[in-house]
């Protein structure tokens, strides 16, 4: 049932935004906004050097779509290091 509603919502958003926006994009942006409240992440995201790694890395994007991951990243140093390793891998 949950997948049905997810499909309907994605379909409706697709119609409204001509297919340019889906639920994963919304969830990704919401998680980025939540992380930007943290100084360590804001410093990285505002740095042009890391922009590509954060916003265009599909592996990192999929990681951030995991349920509850932003809370884990914020509250757990080990998970934060794992997250930062996705960003650093590009260099």
pLDDT in tens, the chain (91 residues): 766 766 676 666 666 655 556 788 889 999 999 999 999 999 888 888 888 888 888 999 999 999 999 999 999 999 999 999 988 875 5
Model-level pTM greater than 0.75?
Answer: no
Which residue do the tokens 């260099």 mark? Answer: 91
What are all long-range contacts of 33-36, with beta carbons under 8 Å and residues at least 24 apart? 34/70, 34/74, 35/70, 35/73, 35/74
């Amino acid at each position: 049932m949950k997948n049905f509603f997810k499909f309907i919502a994605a379909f409706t958003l697709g119609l409204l935004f001509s297919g340019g926006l889906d639920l994963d994009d919304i969830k990704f942006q919401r998680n980025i906004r939540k992380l930007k409240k943290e100084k360590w992440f804001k410093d990285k995201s505002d740095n042009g050097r890391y922009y590509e790694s954060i916003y265009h890395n599909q592996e990192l994007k999929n990681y951030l779509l995991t349920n509850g991951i932003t809370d884990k990243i914020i509250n757990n140093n080990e998970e934060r290091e794992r997250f930062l390793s996705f960003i650093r891998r590009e260099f």
